[in-house]
Structure 1
């Protein structure tokens, strides 16, 4: 059975995986090549994502890298506004998600800028009003696993059993969201968040176990430390490693790839889809 979600009244299917292009409007994202500050840079990034086959644009104004600087809500919104104005004015038909853990930001983005999806790295843990807000907005919600905050997550890598703990976390959160009336939930295991290098690869190896939830599965490993630390490299030189892991993720059930490099991810989707269709 194909997994589906309702984005602004349109039912979309993941019979073939989607690629989500990252649009960073932060000055301090871990991957310097992804930072877009001016209107011109933002417009060029949007055009690149779409021309290379991206289906969703994920806009973020708060860096979630380890030890990132905490910024006020007003500053996060001011960063987002520039990109959201362009998207609303010129790309209204394109599905847009906002990467935020703040319910006030989520509400403004949906109500004022027609954003269609809320992407919350904290799973509602950093803003207790988030779940009820998403329920009232009637938008899909990307539920990610993280312990602590971006500033403290490196200190929270202790698990009784990694996969059992994650399964319990998602089961509890999904039930809570469904109870509140959130119909469309996308799971994100949170690669790189509150997980050691070893734990990230255990998680990738067992990714297919999330199929038990029968919900769309998002994987975001693009140019992350789990790649360049293992390869003794840098984020800037991690495209090949990213493509390898994206392919593994697709083979293990990923429905959405959240990436910096859209073209490479779209090619991975095409090849894996072809392989699966020849079985």
Structure 2
């Protein structure tokens, strides 16, 4: 989980995304080891749902044409960067308005911190944090809301409240029923790589490929079409410092799987270490911009950030070079 703030409970400004849906190839995973096959208790136990046409292309028509910016809205007391700032409904509404006005194409709302050393919260508490905000914002926003959760029950009520996308930091594997929930609502999923423990000795990208094969098996068994799946290498989660850098460096290998890619490095401690000095999360804007510009250059389609306006400007520069058709 995870800026100038405004206060008050006024309406959120409507900012719409441009059109032109993406027609990207959805490659299949190849050449992975047998150990990557899904466990019988996960994907195989999920009932199949008839696949539906892609919701992702409808929700994000510019995906693939330009680098989209996802704005972070944490309604938590303990997120590493902005914990406690937007817990009230009025504060959350004002911040959402700021993020959308600055150009966010997606608003990611989370009610449980996933920072290192965080304390998990019960689903009921997580839902009490996010549902009032989603209900207040969904009718007013011209951009989709994603719910940042790995809990199937929270995803269900959030989608019923108006969220449109599920962003799961455990890649559908902590609670595989979350895939069935998403499929039932026609909701795209963001599948993030994660690990319970850090093992500096492993090839982290090979580990990602095995992890994603399991996640994709769960999604497909639940009836989620490949066109509604986004992958996230999970920078900042379950990796050593060098593995974080390797994950960024090898983005083209992950992108070669044929799925849209989301990268989120915003304000993370990795950047503080690279700055070679102690920094507060809010002081890591320049590092965040550099990391996300690199990620977009290497193939990332979405960047997940706290500072939307600065990133929108930076991504326009990257896209002008790497995706010149966006200037037409």
Q: TM-score, normalised by structure 2?
A: 0.78
Residues 34 and 222 of structure 1, relative CA distance in 2, 3 Å threshold: farther
Determine whether 1:173 maps to 2:215.
Answer: yes
**For the Cα contact (< 8 Å) 1:26–1:63, is it kept in 2?**
yes
**How do residues 110-259 of structure 1 correspond to structure 2 at under 5 angstroms?**
110-111=159-160, 113-148=161-196, 155-158=197-200, 160-183=202-225, 184-231=228-275, 232=277, 233-259=279-305
**For the Cα contact (< 8 Å) 2:200–2:243, is it kept in 1?**
no
Partner residue in 2 for 1:67? 117
Q: 1:13: Cα distance to partner?
A: 3.6
Q: Which shifted more, 190-199 or 123-132?
A: 123-132
Determine whether 1:105 maps to 2:154.
Answer: yes
Residues 57 and 175 of structure 1, relative CA distance in 2, 3 Å threshold: same
Residues 69 and 46 of structure 1, relative CA distance in 2, 3 Å threshold: same
**For the Cα contact (< 8 Å) 1:25–1:61, is it kept in 2?**
yes
Q: Tell me the alpha carbon deviations over residues 5-34 of structure 1, each in whole angstroms, 9 at most, x when there is no partner.
A: 524955624111110000000010000378
**For the Cα contact (< 8 Å) 1:26–1:62, is it kept in 2?**
yes
Which of 268, 271, 276 does residue 317 from structure 2 map onto? Answer: 271
Residues 11 and 63 of structure 1, relative CA distance in 2, 3 Å threshold: closer
**How do residues 39-50 of structure 1 correspond to structure 2 at under 5 angstroms?**
39-50=89-100
Task: Name the structure with the higher strand share.
Answer: 1
Counting matched residue pairs gives 271
**For the Cα contact (< 8 Å) 1:56–1:96, is it kept in 2?**
yes
SS of the residue corresponding to residue 118 of structure 1 reads: strand
For the residues of structure 2 that align with 1:121 and 1:242, how far apart are their CA atoms? 20
Q: 1:59: Cα distance to partner?
A: 0.3
Unmatched tracts of structure 2, length 5 or more: 1-21, 26-53
Residues 157 and 173 of structure 1, relative CA distance in 2, 3 Å threshold: same
Task: Name the structure with the higher helix share.
Answer: 1
**For the Cα contact (< 8 Å) 1:33–1:236, is it kept in 2?**
no
Which of 100, 108, 111 does residue 58 from structure 1 map onto? Answer: 108
**For the Cα contact (< 8 Å) 1:119–1:143, is it kept in 2?**
yes
**For the Cα contact (< 8 Å) 1:223–1:235, is it kept in 2?**
yes
SS of the residue corresponding to residue 139 of structure 1 reads: coil
Q: TM-score, normalised by structure 1?
A: 0.91
For the residues of structure 2 that align with 1:145 and 1:43, how far apart are their CA atoms? 30
SS of the residue corresponding to residue 143 of structure 1 reads: strand
For the residues of structure 1 that align with 2:168 and 2:201, how far apart are their CA atoms? 22
Larger Rg: 2
SS of the residue corresponding to residue 274 of structure 2 reads: coil
**For the Cα contact (< 8 Å) 1:7–1:95, is it kept in 2?**
no
Residues 128 and 276 of structure 1, relative CA distance in 2, 3 Å threshold: closer
Give the root-mean-square deviation of aligned CA atoms. Answer: 2.0
